[in-house]
Amino acid sequence: MYMKSLQVNQCKIIELCKIIDGRDGVLSVAEAQRQIPFDIKRVYYIYDLKYASALRGQHAHKQNKQVIFCINGSFTLTLDDGSHQQEIVLNQPNIGVFMDVKLWHTMKDFSEKCILLVFASELYDENDYIRDYNEFKKYINDTF
């Protein structure tokens, strides 16, 4: 189950179409500047999460925008814009969340065989990451 709207700023639900082809499965498509609201420079996926207690993310970005999907299993995505926090369970492969810049996010409660797929607007750059929550709060207060 997912929410159609989010109370956290700088993010939104992305719903890909489902083209159902009977016994031949389902096709969902994600294209840059269409369903994904930016040019895609990097695609990565997270899998083989051995422990449901694993905690991923715990950071924000200065420039990188992302759309995250759970293409197998489920997990809980926590979003924090500095003023509002919200948890959303992703468990449908065609439903994702667009995460703009200056958005703290954490992933947890991974199901068995969970696979996360992420489209990113930027190439990897460690300097783009804000990995300390207090620094994140200061950064968003200084830039707004």
Considering the domain delimited by 11-143, tell me its CATH architecture. Sandwich (2.60)
CA–CA separation, 76 and 44 (whole Å): 18
Distance of CA 10 to the CA centre of its chain: 12
pLDDT of 17 reads 92
Give residue limits of the domains in the chain.
11-143
Provide the whole-model pTM. Answer: 0.90
Give 28-56 pLDDT, tens digit per residue: 999 999 999 999 999 999 999 987 789 99
Residue 1 pLDDT class (50, 70, 90 cuts)? very low
Query: What are the Cα distances from residue 30, in Å, to 37, 122, 124?
Result: 10, 17, 21
Average pLDDT, the chain: 92
105 tagged catalytic? no
Beta bridge partners of 87: 78
Instruction: Give the active site residue among 59, 61, 84, 105.
Output: 59
113 has pLDDT over 70: yes
Give 56-76 pLDDT, tens digit per residue: 999 999 999 999 999 999 999
